[in-house]
Structure 1
Amino acid sequence: MMNKKLTILALSTAALFSSHVFSAELPDNLQWQTNDTAPTFASSDATYGGSYRTYTLSFPQTFRTVGPDSNGAFRAWILEANLPPLIKHPNTGEWLPGLAQSWAFGDDNKTVYFKLNPKATWSDGKPVTADDYQFMLKLMRSTDIVAPWYNDFFTNEIADIITFDKNTVGIVSAKARNRDELIEYTNLMPRPEHFYGKPKVDKNNDGIDDKFVRKYNFKPEPVTGPYYIDKIKKGKNITFKHVGEGWWGYENKYNQHRYNVEKINIKVIRDADIALKHFEKGNLDSFDLVRPDLWHEKSSGKNYQNGYIQKAWVFNQAPVGAGGLWLNTAKPMLNDINVRKGIMYATDFDMMIEKVLRGDYSRKPNGMGFGHIGYDNTEIKAPKFDAKKAIEYFEQAGFTKVGSDGIRVNDKGERLSFAVTYSQQSFTPRVAVLKEQAKLAGLDLELNLIDGSSMFKYVLEKKHDISFHNMGTGDIPAYWEYFHSDNANKPQTNHFTNFTSPELDSLIDSFKNEFDIEKKRALSRKIQQVIADANVIVPGYMVPYARAGYWRWMKLPENMATKQTGYLFHGWGFSQTFSTFWIDEAAKKETKAAMKSGKTFEPVTIIDDTYKL
Structure 2
Amino acid sequence: MKTILTACLLFITTSGLAAETFPPGSWRDTPDPIAGTDAVVGGELSLFAGQYPKSFNYYLDNNVFSSELFGTMYETLLGRNPITLEEEPGLADKWTISDDKKTFTFHLDPRARWSDGKPVTAHDVRWTFDTIMDPKNLTGVHKVSLETFYPPEVLDTHTIRFKARQVHWRNLLSAGGIQVLPKHIYSGEDFNKINFEFPVVSGPYRIGKINEGVFVAIERRDDYWNRHAKRLQGVGNFSTLKYNFFAERSNAFEAFKKGKIDIYPVYTSRLWMKEARGQKFGMNWIVKQKIYNHQPQGFQGFAMNMRKFPFDDVRVRQAMAHLLDREKMNRTLMYNQYYLHRSYFEDLYTKDNPCPNPLIPFDKAKARELLRQAGWIANPKTGLLEKKGRQFSFQFLTRDQTADKFLAIYAEDLKDVGIEVNIDRKDWAAWARDMDEFNYQMTWAAWGASVFKDPEGMWASKEADRKGGNNITGFKNAKVDELIEKQKTIFDVQQRHAMARQIDQIIYQDYPYVLLWNISCVRLLYWNKFGTPDTVLSKYGDERSAYFYWWQDEDSQADLADAMQSALPLPPKDPSIFFDERF
Q: 1:235 aligns with which of 206, 213, 220?
A: 213
Structure 2 letter corresponding to 1:47: V
Give runs of aligned pairs for residues 149-188 of structure 1, distance below 5 A: 149-151=141-143, 153-154=145-146, 156-178=147-169, 181-188=170-177
Distance 1:514 1:8 in 2: 20
Distance 2:566 2:11 in 1: 63
Q: Which runs of 5+ in 1 are unaligned?
A: 14-23, 200-208, 571-575
Give runs of aligned pairs for residues 193-272 of structure 1, distance below 5 A: 193-196=182-185, 198-199=187-188, 209=189, 211-214=190-193, 216-220=194-198, 222-244=200-222, 247-272=224-249
CA RMSD of aligned residues (A): 3.3
Contact 2:378–2:386 (CA under 8 A) maintained in structure 1: yes
TM-score, normalised to structure 1, is 0.84
Q: 1:469 to 1:151 in 2, by over 3 A?
A: closer
Provide the residue aligned with 1:189 in structure 2.
178
Provide the residue aligned with 2:100 in structure 1.
108
Provide the residue aligned with 1:369 in structure 2.
345
Provide the residue aligned with 2:549 in structure 1.
580
Provide the residue aligned with 1:477 in structure 2.
453
Q: What SS is found at the alignment partner of 1:527?
A: helix
Q: 2:123 aligns with which of 120, 126, 131?
A: 131
For residue 335 of structure 1, report the CA deviation from its aligned partner: 1.6
Provide the residue aligned with 2:23 in structure 1.
33
Structure 1 letter corresponding to 2:283: N
Q: 1:380 aligns with which of 350, 354, 357?
A: 357
Distance 2:179 2:463 in 1: 26
For residue 443 of structure 1, report the CA deviation from its aligned partner: 4.0
Any idea what the Cα deviations from partners look like across 1:421-471, whole Å, max 9, x if unmatched? 232212222333333444554444444333333323222222221111112
Q: What SS is found at the alignment partner of 2:67?
A: helix
2:286 corresponds to 1:298 = no
Distance 1:28 1:490 in 2: 38
Q: What SS is found at the alignment partner of 1:102?
A: strand
Aligned length: 575
For residue 47 of structure 1, report the CA deviation from its aligned partner: 0.8
Structure 2 letter corresponding to 1:608: I
Q: 1:369 to 1:467 in 2, by over 3 A?
A: farther
Q: 1:29 to 1:90 in 2, by over 3 A?
A: closer
Q: What SS is found at the alignment partner of 2:345?
A: coil
Contact 2:54–2:432 (CA under 8 A) maintained in structure 1: no
Contact 2:290–2:524 (CA under 8 A) maintained in structure 1: yes
Q: What SS is found at the alignment partner of 1:420?
A: strand
Q: 2:524 aligns with which of 548, 559, 568?
A: 548
Provide the residue aligned with 2:44 in structure 1.
51
Q: 1:321 to 1:222 in 2, by over 3 A?
A: farther
Q: 1:611 to 1:403 in 2, by over 3 A?
A: farther
Any idea what the Cα deviations from partners look like across 1:171-201, whole Å, max 9, x if unmatched? 33221234xx3432322335333443542xx
Q: What SS is found at the alignment partner of 1:565?
A: coil
Contact 1:352–1:434 (CA under 8 A) maintained in structure 2: no
2:317 corresponds to 1:356 = no
Provide the residue aligned with 1:462 in structure 2.
438
TM-score, normalised to structure 2, is 0.88
Q: 1:472 to 1:2 in 2, by over 3 A?
A: closer
For residue 44 of structure 1, report the CA deviation from its aligned partner: 0.5
Percent identical pairs in the alignment equals: 22
Q: 1:559 to 1:270 in 2, by over 3 A?
A: same
Any idea what the Cα deviations from partners look like across 1:566-608, whole Å, max 9, x if unmatched? 11xx4xxxxx447210111333234224423434323445211
Q: 1:364 to 1:98 in 2, by over 3 A?
A: farther
Provide the residue aligned with 1:143 in structure 2.
135
Distance 2:107 2:500 in 1: 33
Q: 1:161 to 1:221 in 2, by over 3 A?
A: farther
Q: What SS is found at the alignment partner of 1:220?
A: coil
Provide the residue aligned with 2:394 in structure 1.
418
Distance 2:496 2:197 in 1: 40
Q: Which runs of 5+ in 2 are unaligned?
A: none
For residue 564 of structure 1, report the CA deviation from its aligned partner: 1.0
Q: 1:74 aligns with which of 65, 70, 73?
A: 65
Distance 1:585 1:130 in 2: 43
